[in-house]
Structure 1
Amino acid sequence: MPDAPSGRGLSSQLLAHQRYRFYCGRSHHLFGKQNLPLQALGREPFVSFTSAQLSGALAEIAVFRASAAMTGDVVVTSSSLEEIQRFVRAGWGIGCLPEHTVQADVDKGNLWPLPPYDGVPNIDIHLVWHEDSRFSQAERLFFDYLHSAMASVGLEQRLP
């Protein structure tokens, strides 16, 4: 059931790997340009999640930006995926978003994928619970359903 204990009294199970990549909106000057080198993003204004910093859950994005010398100013931060997506669509800057959540905007021509074309490191999503949790009946049913669903669907098939 659980992958491994994740702390004092905590257990976790890997739900999915989310692939993140950089995008820009239709009004951005890089929109529609193909085969760009990663260096083309170096000084672009950046729209960021508040947790995309070294101490946050999305630290891998910050590490990637630093290692790729992406030094553009962070012009907007938010903890909301929808807000980050909206700011990128509106052309405030480039942003790093999970592929599966923005595919409809890419298909509609509202967002354009940028290098690196194979994406940045995956961000893992975990189900975490305390081993001594007392669940209500509804919570127990939901928890058991999640575990059953994860057992029946391979990790690579959990996100479109």
Structure 2
Amino acid sequence: MLLRRRAASAFVRKLLYFAILCGLLWLLWMGLRGVMSTGEGDQAVEALNEFYTMEQSGNFGGSWELFHSQMKKKFEKSTYVQQRAHVFMQDMGTDTFTFELGEPQAEYDIRTDPNGEDLGKVYRITVTQHYKTRFGNFDIVQPCYVTQEDEEWRVLWIYKEKEQT
């Protein structure tokens, strides 16, 4: 009887050690996976950060290149570069701005405009641009969207009908 109890106790102890070892290996795997790979949301934030860093330095042609094809249909490159430079640098009297990016939120069934095609999975990221201009200091807060197109992260703005108040 005593021998059976010791054998059962040794078996339970080995089983417990095995379970603990499996748990530690699982935690290690999950931790390494999180460190080694960047999540889609983080990749979307990186792409949007690159876009606004270019805008911040006045490289509007470079930022235009990061637009989704639907945005490129809305703006020819030369027109976009001229209008952005005109509005922000000439009209507002500023040559740069600072910006903050919010947390990415996955959304589905998004269209750039009511008649546009469904974009599938996109990340909505709120961008706050801080300006110091000849007209005073102010912020522009804009929801931006980032999605993959041809395995590249691309930036979109959404155009909805004006809501009735």
Would you call these one fold, judging by a TM-score over 0.5? no
Give the structure with the higher percent helix: 2
TM-score range, shorter chain: under 0.3
Q: TM-score, normalised by structure 1?
A: 0.25
Rg: which structure is higher?
Answer: 2
Structure with more contact order per residue of length (Cα contacts < 8 Å, sep ≥ 6): 1
Q: TM-score, normalised by structure 2?
A: 0.24
